[in-house]
Structures are given as C-alpha cells and as structure tokens.
Amino acid sequence: MRVGVVRFPGSNCDLDTVATLMGIRGLSPKLVWHESDELGKFDAVVLPGGFSFGDYLRAGSIAARSPALSAIRRMADEGKPVLGVCNGFQILVEAGLLPGALLRNLSLRFVCQWVSVRVESRRTPFTALAREGQVLRMPIAHGEGRYYASDEQLRDLERSHRVVFRYSDGSGRVVDEANPTGTLGNIAGISNGQGNVVGLMPHPERCCDPALSPWGSTDGRLIFESLLGGDR
Amino acid sequence: MLSRATTKKRIFHVGVVISNKEGARDPEGETVLRDLVHRSGFADVKGIRAGKYLRVDVEAPSEAAAEGLVRKMCDDLRIYNPAAHSIVVEAGRLPE
C-alpha cells in the first residue's frame, strides 16, 4: 500500500512518520511536498504533526488552504484512508474534513507527556485491528488540542460513534483526571461519517519502536498495521 | 475624469476580532480576570474574553463595502472557525 506523508513548511514529524511506516511490512511510504500534485496516486495519506506555517492565525488554518488539501479532499471522497496526527488533526478540522475545533489547552501550556487512550471505535481503517475498549499508551505534545464542538455536533458525533479515541486512565476508565487538556468528553480523536478520515492528537509514530518509550510501548503500530486490513 | 473622481476608491482600515464563543472556555481571559484584575481589586469587572485582532487594509469605494469584503474573506477563508469562534468586523477604528 502506497502511503503519502505530506510535508508542509513547519512539519516536524514527517520523517519520523516515514521511518515508522517503512518499518511496517506492506506499507510503502513517500514524503510528498504540500504543493505537489502527486498525492492522487497514493492509496492512503498521513498528515503528520508539527507547526505548519508556524501555527500562524490558528494551528492548521493556513495549511487547510494548501493545494494538498484539494487532493486530500478528493481522496477522502473516494473512501481512501486519511490520517491526521496532532497538527495533521488540526489541519483536517480547519479544512472542514472533520467537525469542530481544537482550542488552546485549558492550562494554556504546551502539554508533553505519555497518556493512555481508549479505542472507542474500530470502524475505521486505523483501528480495525484494535479491540473496542483497548487501551493504548501514546505520547502527546501540543498546545492546541482541546477538542471543542457545539452541543449539536457533539451529540451527532456520539450518536454516530465517531469518537474514535478518548483519554482514559491505565485501566480504560474515562475520568477527568486522565484529561490532559480540558478536551470535551475526553476526546482524543474522531472520524468523519464514513470512517475513512481520522484525526487524533496523540502521536502513534512515536510509539512504534520500543527504544522510544519508557515502557517499551509499540502500541502505535496497531494504528498503521490496521491499514493493511482487519475485519472492518 | 470627473466621474472617475466620484467613484474613487480609498483605503479603509477594517478591524477583525476573533474570540471564543460564549460556550467555549477561554482560559486566557479567565486567567487575566482572576489572577490580575480581581486580585488587584477591580471587583466590578465581571468578565474578560481574550481574542485575536487583525487589521485589514482594504481598498474600497465605501466603508460598508470594505466591511462587506472583509466579512466575505473571513467566511470564505475560514479566518475564524465557526464551530468555536465568533467575529466582530468593524471599519474605521484603529488601535491607538
């Protein structure tokens, strides 16, 4: 499977993502500049983390108007898997491919820590190999990750099971103490209606190699290996 | 030349203020209110909302036209995220 990893000016998780995907048999990643017109030939796309366009105006808001997003919109319509990680999630939200907004953390701080995240839905190409309720250990690193949506949007998300990940404690209980940013409903990731577009704040690419985790966590692999199939 | 002068365009300064909607918490405003303003004795101040300000310089035939263009720009380019933000678009006043 050919996976495009989009690099914007200010992306900084792009090479980590490519390196991680190269380590998964069956995935063939390639770095793609955001102004390139070659995205259409890929089977899936990842928007990596970073600070695209310096987070100017609002994280993700300028990248959301980049040429890459026209191609990504088409890929999303065609049902191809689209994943946004951290700044990539912010870009998908600002482009309107996912609903809501990602606001500054309630603490006003850039939060950089390992968290536990519970898988709420396996009906996406990025969670097909997970068990519902499975707890993954992943790191977060962001200043604007407090998910916000109107009451109506939130009801719609919950009703249609489009909340994909929630911050939880280690045993999977979704409690306030496990909420690192004040995000609504402990939401860490959501999908579009079809399920093929997913955004999440935690960084799966940073927990695929045991050397990168204090716990030897390779939980992030599940997200990328799911791309290769599962019983969706 | 005379008719051209009557429709002459000029530059208008249009201010755009983007802030969180009432339902979306604004930790910056809350902190300024709690830890600076109330702590310093300004008890009559009942609320502060922080926002982002953009000054847009627009060439237009009138103030109303300048405001209209900026409003359209804000909507079309999602200068604000309507899920979480509200905006005020106002021509003519410059920060001192």
pLDDT of residue B9: 83
Alpha-carbon dihedral of residues A91, A12, A206, B27, nearest 10 degrees? -50
Residue A14 pLDDT > 90: yes
Query: Under an 8 A CB cutoff, do A105 and B20 touch?
Result: no
pLDDT attached to residue A215: 84
- Rounded CA gap, B44 and B38, in Å? 9
Which two three-digit tokens encode residue B10? 């000029």
The alpha-carbon gap from B71 to the nearest alpha carbon of chain A, in Å, equals 16
Question: Closest by alpha carbon to A196, among A71, A101, A83?
Answer: A83
Residue A230 has pLDDT above 80, yes or no: no
pLDDT at A118: 98
The pLDDT score that the predictor gives to residue B7 is 66
* Domains of chain A, residue spans: 2-228
Residue of B nearest to A108 (CA): B27
pLDDT score at A113: 97
**Cβ-proximal residues to A176 (8 Å cutoff; 6+ apart), any chain:** none
pLDDT (tens digit, 9 = 90+) per residue, A89-132?
999 999 999 999 999 999 999 999 999 999 999 999 999 999 99
Among A64, A103, A106, select the one facing B78 at the smallest CB separation. A64
Residue B94: is its pLDDT beyond 80? no
Write down the pLDDT at residue A5: 98
Across A168-172, average pLDDT: 97
Q: How confident is the model at residue B92, as a pLDDT?
A: 78
What pLDDT digit, counting tens, does each position of A50-93 carry?
A: 999 999 999 999 999 999 999 999 999 999 999 999 999 999 99
Name the CATH superfamily, with its identifier, for domain A2-228: Class I glutamine amidotransferase (GATase) domain (3.40.50.880)
Q: What is the largest distance, in Å, between two alpha-carbon atoms of chain A?
A: 44
Higher pLDDT, B92 or A179: A179
pLDDT value for B25: 95
Return the active site residues of A: 86, 203, 205
CA–CA separation, A120 and A195 (whole Å) = 13
Chain A residues in contact with B25 by the CB 8 A cut-off are: 103, 106, 182
Q: What is the mean pLDDT of chain B?
A: 90
pLDDT tens digits for range B4-48: 555 678 999 999 999 999 999 999 999 999 999 999 999 999 999
Please give the share of chain A, as a percent, with pLDDT higher than 70: 99
- Average pLDDT of chain A is 96
How many other CB atoms sit within 10 Å of the CB of residue B64?
11
Query: What residues in B contact A93, CB-CB < 8 Å?
Result: 81
| Farthest-apart Cα atoms in chain B, separation | 62
Structure tokens belonging to residue A164: 């994909």
Q: How far apart are CA A213 and CA A218, in angstroms?
A: 8
The one-letter amino acid code at B46 reads: K
Give chain B's domains with CATH numbers. Answer: 2-24+51-91 (3.30.1280.10)
Strands A82-85 and A197-200: what pairing? parallel
- pLDDT of the residue at A231: 44
ipTM of the predicted structure?
0.81
For residue B86, the distance in angstroms to the closest alpha carbon of chain A comes to: 13
B26 neighbors A108 (Cβ within 8 angstroms): no
**Closest residue by Cα to residue A141 from A64, A86, A216:** A86
Q: Which two tokens stand for residue A72?
A: 């990504």
Integer Cα distance of B71 and B76 in angstroms: 9
